[in-house]
Chain A
Amino acid sequence: MDFKIQTQDLNLTYGKFHALKDVQIQIKPQSITAIIGPSGCGKSTLLRCFNRMNELIKGVHITGRIHLDGKDIHSPDVDLTILRRRVGMVFQKPNPFPLSVFDNVTYGLRVHGVRRRSELEEAVESSLRATWLWDDVKDKLWGPALALSAEQQQRLCISRVVAVRPEVLLMDEPCSALDPIATGHIEDLMRSLADRYTIVIVTHNMQQAARVASECAFMLLGELVEFGPTIRIFENPKDKRTEDYVSGHYG
């Protein structure tokens, strides 16, 4: 089978600190892959490799290969703006821009040169529908995005990414700022998006990983310890360290 994202001997250092060690991961298209592991093990760092956001941090050095649809994302002919449009990212803390709801959703399109009013309006409706936000905000499209609730803000951030028609959605602990009910809603949303997008989610919450993800990766101290179907990782881990973690022996 063809993987959506595949890494080979991926190593990353922040200055002298070795944050990712020989990571090999294969991410299946149109599915949800969860990355779990204790704090500081490199989950966010790995996620940021996939849209090359690490390059904005000073002192980062990356070796090894990352393939998106079989093509190296570090090759010189890759256009970064196009890569980031194909591989969208949702952050831990909802970060809508201090603009109107409409301007938030259309931001990515405008950045990529779309100006036609009708096209923007269409994109707003379809993206907000895709994230089940349309009915909540259709009368407040010109109101400030920052006036929405935390859950609505996070959904708006997902709509904003969905609007540019990405192929991959990277989500870095997307529910950690939300209450359990809102978390449930976002998880339902993720499952509904999974038949169109390849989703990679970082989470601290093992139940969440078990609920949404079909594949699961366990990381520890920069290493990818174990990777496989979620059920197997939780019920039949091969590595002692994974077993300790999923049975709750680590923080």
Chain B
Amino acid sequence: MKQDKLIALALLMVAFSAVSGLALITVFIFKEGLPIIVKTGPGNFFLSSDWDPSSGNFGIFSMIAGSLAVTVCAMVIGTVFGLGLAIVLGEFCPPGLAAILKPVVELLAGIPSVVYGFVGVVTIVPLIRTYLGGPGLSVLASSIVLGIMVLPTVTSISMDALRAVPRSYWQGSIALGATKWQTTHMVMLKAAKSGIAAAIILGMGRAVGETMAVIMVAGNTLEVPHGILDPVRTLTSNIALEMGYASGQHREALFATGVTLFVIIMILNTVALVMARRGAGEGRTR
């Protein structure tokens, strides 16, 4: 009995220190980043594209636009292929093959992002430069690399969502004369929609936060992109590129960039969580 209490206490302390560590990091980022936002004025900080630390101009709009452009395009690619793969693996290919392929896809998540970036630089970037024009380092290149990187997340979670749909729906549909494909898009995808939405949003969180691979293929110029062949700089890249030599206000502005990212990702994760909860709730009604 006494031992149980001791163990419980020890575990509580471990949990507490982990949580308080996270809390401290959060407080630290906000403490370092918020003052400069207030000083520059949120309007200037978020809506101006003039980022020139040496003359004290800190506007991150071009990077917000860059992150947005890259993330949206990456999610289009990641969703089309990731969800497609989930459907094929979950509904159409023999279960034995799916049992092998799913872990393989999940393994892709374990490859370090610098490797993705490197592969992007040596294959995708030159291909874009040769066949589509522009510098090659671009929104498109980053989106393709990120799209592949989020594939495991999107595929794996959507597959789980599809698998959690009661088999009786599938049988009911087939028994009415529906083909497998009709059953998939008219019943299964609808029944799994909140889980799939959660998959996409979690993938999106990964895409927004990814840094290394994007730095390698995005070009990192400080301009609002006008097309998918233009180079961009994302919020994450900005921090990673300049942190090494930044000091004073410049350093604070980078923390403020971090705050912006933090808030974006918190929002995405919360939405994903709510979606997943709602999905689980729907499953429970019989």
Contact = CB atoms under 8 A, between A and B. Distances in A.
Nearest to A107: B176
Contacts of B176: 84-85, 88, 107-108, 111, 160-161, 164
A146 B191 CA distance: 12
Interface stretch (B79-87, B118-126, B165-173, B228-236): B165-173
Nearest to B175: A89
A58 B206 CA distance: 39
A96 B166 CA distance: 11
Contacts of A97: 169, 172-173, 187, 190-191
B178 A95 contact: no
B286 interface: yes
Q: Taking each of A94, A95, A108, A110, which has the highest tally of chain B beta carbons within 10 Å of its own beta carbon?
A: A95
Interface string B170-198: 01111111110010001100110000000
A91 B171 contact: yes
B175 A111 contact: no
Given A53-B174, A107-B186, A110-B186, A95 B168 contact: yes
Interface residues on A, range: 20 to 34
B169 A98 contact: yes
A35 to B, nearest CB: 17
A90 to B, nearest CB: 9
B52 interface: no
Contacts of A94: 286
B172 A91 contact: yes
A56 interface: yes
A85 B177 contact: yes
B282 interface: yes
A140 interface: no
B285 interface: yes
A interface: dominant SS: helix
Interface in A78-106: 80-85, 88-89, 91, 93-99
Interface string B123-154: 00000000000000000000000000000000
Interface string A92-133: 011111110000000110111000000000000000000000
Contacts of A220: none
B141 to A, nearest CB: 40
A219 interface: no
Given A97-B187, A107-B186, A112 B173 contact: no
Contacts of B178: 81, 107-108, 111
Contacts of B177: 80-85, 108, 111-112, 164
Contacts of A112: 177
A64 to B, nearest CB: 22
Nearest to A95: B168
A174 to B, nearest CB: 13
Given A95-B166, A146-B285, A146-B286, A84 B174 contact: yes
A99 B188 CA distance: 11
Contact of A98 (B174, B175, B182, B190): B190
Interface in B68-102: none
B110 to A, nearest CB: 32
B168 A93 contact: yes
A158 to B, nearest CB: 12
A98 B191 contact: yes
Contacts of A84: 174-177
Contacts of B172: 91, 95-97, 157, 160
A51 interface: yes
A51 B187 CA distance: 20
Contacts of A80: 177
B173 A99 contact: no
A107 B174 contact: no
Interface in B185-219: 186-187, 190-191
A150 B286 CA distance: 9
B40 to A, nearest CB: 49
A172 to B, nearest CB: 10
Contacts of B173: 97, 107, 111
A80 B178 CA distance: 9
A117 to B, nearest CB: 17
B286 A88 contact: no
Interface in A127-175: 146-147, 150, 153, 157, 160-161, 164
6 contacts: A81-B177, A91-B171, A91-B172, A95-B168, A98-B191, A108-B177
Interface of A: 51, 53, 56, 80-85, 88-89, 91, 93-99, 107-108, 110-112, 146-147, 150, 153, 157, 160-161, 164
- Give the top 6 A-B pairs by smallest Cβ distance, nearest first: A95-B168, A84-B177, A81-B177, A89-B175, A108-B176, A111-B178
Given A107-B187, A147-B285, 7 more contacts: A84-B174, A91-B168, A91-B172, A91-B175, A97-B169, A97-B187, A146-B282
